[in-house]
Amino acid sequence: MKNEDGLDKNTSKFKADIEALKAMPDGRPADWLKKPWDMHHWVDMFVESGRAANYLMGHVWAVYVPVSLVLIVWGWVD
């Protein structure tokens, strides 16, 4: 029986999610860059990427949020 949490399985999930991000019709960063004042495009980047690639984006946010919080707190301490 193959390990269900193995590196190969996780890598294949990430690859599938990256392909899903490339194929999403809405929520691309390029949409927001065309109209940066349009907050709907800004919100779509996060909402649609979460829908299209929930496994990948969950990992991205799980790393990004704690690192950001540590950096913010570290900045306040100085």
- Cα separation, 66 vs 72, in Å, equals 10
pTM of the shown model? 0.74
Does residue 36 lie in a domain region?
yes
Residue 25 lies in a domain: yes
Flag whether 2 is in a domain: no
pLDDT value of residue 16: 95
Retrieve residue 28's tokens: 């691309």
Chain position carrying tokens 């704690």? 66
Total count of domains within the chain: 1
Residue-range definition of the domain harbouring residue 57: 7-77
Whether pLDDT at 78 is above 80: no
Distance CA 33, CA 23 (A): 18
pLDDT reported for residue 1: 44
pLDDT tens-digit map of 10-63: 899 999 999 999 998 888 888 889 988 989 989 999 999 999 999 999 999 999
Q: Quick check: 3 pLDDT over 60? A: no
